[in-house]
Amino acid sequence: MFELDTSIKEWKRSLRKNPGYEDGDIEELESHLRDRIDALIDEGESEENAFRIASSEIGDVKQIATEFYKTTTTKPYLETDSGINLGILSNFVKISRRNLFRNKLYSSLNILGLVIGITSALFIYLFIQNELNYDTFHENGDRIYKVNRVIERETETSTTGITSAPFKKGLEEDFPEMIEMATHFGPDDGVVTIGDKNFMEPRFYMADENFFQIFSFPFLNGNPVTALEQPNTVVLSKQTAEKYFGAENPVGKTILVDGEKDFEVTGVFEFPEGTNSHFYFDLVASIQTYSNYRFYTEWGWNQVHTYAMLSEGVDLEDINPLLPSFMNKYFGENMTEMDRRVDIMLLPLKDVYFADYLTYDWQIDHGTKSNLYVFGIIALLIIIVAGVNFINLATARSVSRAKEVGVRKTLGARQLVLFFQFMAEALMMAFIAGILSFLLVYLTQPYFEQMIGTVISVDLFAPEILFFTIGILTITGLLAGLYPALFLSSFKPIKALKEKISFGTSQTFIRKGLIVFQFAISSLLIIGVIIINQQMNYISDKSLGFQPDQLIDITLNNSAARQQLPQMMEQFKTIPGVEETSVMSGSPGGFFDTYSFRVEDHEKVLTLNTLFIDDKLSEVFDLEMITGRDFDKVFSTDSASAMVINQKAVDFLGWSADEAVGKQIRNMYLDDEPRTVIGVVEDFHFRSLHSQIEPLAVSMSRDYRNIVLKISTDNLSSLLPQITEVWDQFSPLYPIDYRFVDEQFAQLYDSDTRQRKIFSAFSVIAIVVACLGLFGLATFNAEKRSKEMGVRKILGASIGDLLLTFNKEVLTIVGVSFFIAVPVTYFLAEEWLQNYAYRISNGMMSYLIAGVIVILLAILTVSYQTVKVAWTNPVDSLRDE
């Protein structure tokens, strides 16, 4: 049955196959055809006849197309000498656009790959920019240095971020010429009462009067120079001021802190937009308020961060040689007694954020510089994989474009012009991909921030980001377009028109080489993901030596609770479900002190981790005593003169467990008399599994900062409210701050977990892009070899046979790339696993799994196309031509 509309559609499609027709030409011809058909039908012709007559009257569509082509294209080719002018530029764009739309599958595969690649690169660039954007807003930033202490230890030196409060004045007084001023701040928390409302403020700093002169936080109200001069003054962040007082100017108003001290608000500051700071605070109070506290006056009480601003013209080299004598002056006696040196290390402000090696650097944000390199490299790899796709698809497709090149060269196009034409196409695709990527980044930024666990303060529309985007597009477009453009534009016209272009071995080799490269990168990333995951699972499954999910750790964070500690503990014990209670200095999975010790049989001063606890060590952690006994209230002398050490400490001190009992050990800072070892306890992990279990000295010294409750985990929903109720009873102002110890341990691996997520995500992206490319090539190959398949089928090959034939090649390629990836990955994995004291073996299994995954993915990608073509009736594939 004849369908007029279908026939017209088909006729239009045949027109579209010819280059030369522009938008509107075909519509115009269609309108002509329909007018003519109407007229013929009026004359009494059937629809079918009318269509035949009308279309034949219009004539040979190819000839018309050629005429059209002449009216639009010949001129620039013939008339210009250089080959390039504005007219030809618009022609480039036009032809590029046509090619883009004519081959929708290739174009979308190419653009999709590029979009994924560029989006990843943009995200990673944003992340890197954000990391590099710390502390850049301080006017005198290049003169500001953080004062750290380098401490000699038995085997290594460690650098500590905290100092004691007297350092500030000491430095200012001893180096009046070199240090313009110094400042210090102590991170703390506090409860602020406004009217009848209490606010828990976890970022409540104390700082001296120089703080806002050295650091350039913009002031909205008040005077930064004088704001913290007087005791009992406080400066609020903009957000905090709004939270307390709404739109009113808070300067001059009073806030009540911890229910006991009044502070007058003397200023409001803000963190400048689009920048980051390595420390964040909501309120900062005058540290002078606490001038008669021990932490303010004692050189040995390390609790603040100190910064020095050098005078103009003074370099680090000028002051560095003088610093040891400063330490000798104030710590000489101390250092002789401890038999070790402590020195000052001045760290430029711009390096503080990346100084993640600083120990005890409370409430300071640090980034890891190596992450920048790792992510930068990943971004580069993904872009390369996407670029390789582009090259491969373009050269593979060149067969179908050989005729175009032939025709155009015959019509007088020079190789240079064609070269620019193909480059224009590549650039155009890159820019379409760029615009899409930019949109994608804009829309998905919040998800990315969630994944990396940081808010990106850098503006996506900042000039340097736009510049980077355009730069990366141009480079990607140029590099990816270069090879295909050279290759395509070099076709010899006669050959291209007469024969079928077949690839020389060099082209095939390059293409295969590029795929090998892509899949080597993908394999590397997949193996990496598997190893990282295995290591993280290993860590979370590894026994710590106690049951962390049964322990709740409550921070003892206020004096009211401390004063009534025994009564509170009694109350906790009465709650059903609380099996054991204990108070201690350390926090399992969190903070532990280290002190210097004099130990029997040892001449040198030794450093040990310490835990100060009541008499419940073995009970609360469920630990076995290897020898001797645990603390016991029955022995009244235990609190002043007994010590328990762990197995690791016994090994460290060179004893056997039995020898250890009875030895004398003195904490040089806290105890006047030595303590006697009464028992050795089995090792347990009190810190991250990044490090080995360390020697631990446990005593009953009264320095309690955490309450640890051992609970039965049956009925948490009723247990937690009861615990909170008891806490509130004794600490009405401070809300309870508790956490499960297993969560606390999980937090130690936060950055590892985050790395794992980012790494996994980008690996998936890389492999997807690589598969996109393979898919495109497979489509092309399957089409090209459809006749071969037809012949094979006729000769009796089954679809399975065909698949085997076509997968063999892919298997070889992927296999080769995999074996290239393995040694590289093995080396990198070994490096990474070195970070962990407790790690998986870098075994074959991960590599085998990854190999299977990569090969399966490749086979699936290729087989889809092969099956599709293999399934078609050989009659169809062999009929034409």
Partner 1 sequence: MAASTRPLILSILKRGESYGYQIIQDVKQLSGGTLEWSDGMLYPVLHKLQKDGCIESRWVKSEEGRKRKYYSITNIGLQELQTAKDQWSSIHSVLETIWGPAQKWAI
Question: How many other CB atoms are found less than 10 A from the CB of residue 731?
Answer: 23
Is the Cβ of residue 23 or residue 196 nearer to partner 1 in the bound state?
23
300: tokens are 């040995």
Question: How many other CB atoms are found less than 10 A from the CB of residue 450?
Answer: 11
345: tokens are 């290390």
**Strand 706-711 relative to strand 197-207, pairing:** unpaired
> Which one of residues 8, 12, 18, 34 is an interface residue with partner 1 (CB under 8 A)?
34
> Which one of residues 4, 8, 41, 64 is an interface residue with partner 1 (CB under 8 A)?
64
Does 24 bind partner 1 (CB under 8 A)? Our answer is yes
CB of residue 28 vs partner 1: minimum separation in angstroms? Answer: 5
> How far is it, in rounded angstroms, from Cα 760 to Cα 763?
5
Question: Do 585 and 579 contact (CB within 8 A), yes or no?
Answer: no
- Burial of residue 532, with CB atoms counted within 10 A of its CB: 0-12 exposed, 13-18 middle, 19 or more buried: buried
Does 25 bind partner 1 (CB under 8 A)? Our answer is yes
> Which one of residues 10, 27, 459, 830 is an interface residue with partner 1 (CB under 8 A)?
27
Does 60 bind partner 1 (CB under 8 A)? Our answer is yes
Binding string, residues 66-95; x marks residues near partner 1 by CB under 8 A = -xx-xxx-----------------------
Is the Cβ of residue 56 or residue 543 nearer to partner 1 in the bound state?
56
> Which one of residues 63, 254, 370, 729 is an interface residue with partner 1 (CB under 8 A)?
63
**Strand 675-681 relative to strand 738-740, pairing:** unpaired
Q: What is the DSSP letter of 390?
A: H
Size of the site for partner 1 (CB under 8 A): 23
Beta bridge partner(s), residue 608: 595
Task: Give the CA diameter of the chain.
Answer: 124
Is the Cβ of residue 57 or residue 142 nearer to partner 1 in the bound state?
57
Stretch that binds partner 1, among 54-62, 159-167, 421-429, 868-876 (CB under 8 A): 54-62
Query: What's phi and psi for 237, nearest 5 deg?
Result: -75, 160
> Which one of residues 59, 246, 463, 721 is an interface residue with partner 1 (CB under 8 A)?
59
CB of residue 57 vs partner 1: minimum separation in angstroms? Answer: 5
CB of residue 117 vs partner 1: minimum separation in angstroms? Answer: 41
CB of residue 31 vs partner 1: minimum separation in angstroms? Answer: 5
By CB under 8 A, what part of segment 506-525 binds partner 1?
Answer: none
Question: Do 248 and 219 contact (CB within 8 A), yes or no?
Answer: no
The 3-state secondary structure of 775-805, one letter per residue: HHHHHHHHHHCHHHHHHHHHCCCCHHHHHHH
Does 31 bind partner 1 (CB under 8 A)? Our answer is yes
Stretch that binds partner 1, among 22-30, 561-569, 596-604, 722-730 (CB under 8 A): 22-30
CB of residue 23 vs partner 1: minimum separation in angstroms? Answer: 11
CB of residue 68 vs partner 1: minimum separation in angstroms? Answer: 5
Question: Do 867 and 798 contact (CB within 8 A), yes or no?
Answer: no
CB of residue 62 vs partner 1: minimum separation in angstroms? Answer: 10
Is the Cβ of residue 49 or residue 232 nearer to partner 1 in the bound state?
49
Residue 223's contacts (CB-CB under 8 Å, 6 or more residues apart) are 266, 267
| Cα–Cα–Cα angle for 739, 745, 749, rounded to 5 degrees | 125
140: tokens are 């005198």
Residue type, 398: S
Is the Cβ of residue 21 or residue 420 nearer to partner 1 in the bound state?
21
CB of residue 74 vs partner 1: minimum separation in angstroms? Answer: 11
CB of residue 92 vs partner 1: minimum separation in angstroms? Answer: 19
Is the Cβ of residue 68 or residue 592 nearer to partner 1 in the bound state?
68
CB of residue 58 vs partner 1: minimum separation in angstroms? Answer: 4
> Which one of residues 3, 10, 57, 570 is an interface residue with partner 1 (CB under 8 A)?
57
Is the Cβ of residue 18 or residue 136 nearer to partner 1 in the bound state?
18
Does 10 bind partner 1 (CB under 8 A)? Our answer is no
DSSP alpha helix (H) spans, 365-504: 369-410, 415-452, 463-489, 493-498
**Strand 197-207 relative to strand 283-286, pairing:** parallel
307: tokens are 């910064």
Question: Do 595 and 670 contact (CB within 8 A), yes or no?
Answer: yes
Stretch that binds partner 1, among 25-33, 44-52, 408-416, 493-501 (CB under 8 A): 25-33
Is the Cβ of residue 35 or residue 728 nearer to partner 1 in the bound state?
35
SS3 content of the chain, % helix, strand, coil (to 5): 55, 15, 30
Task: List contacts with partner 1 (CB under 8 A).
Answer: 24-25, 27-29, 31-32, 34-36, 56-61, 63-64, 67-68, 70-72
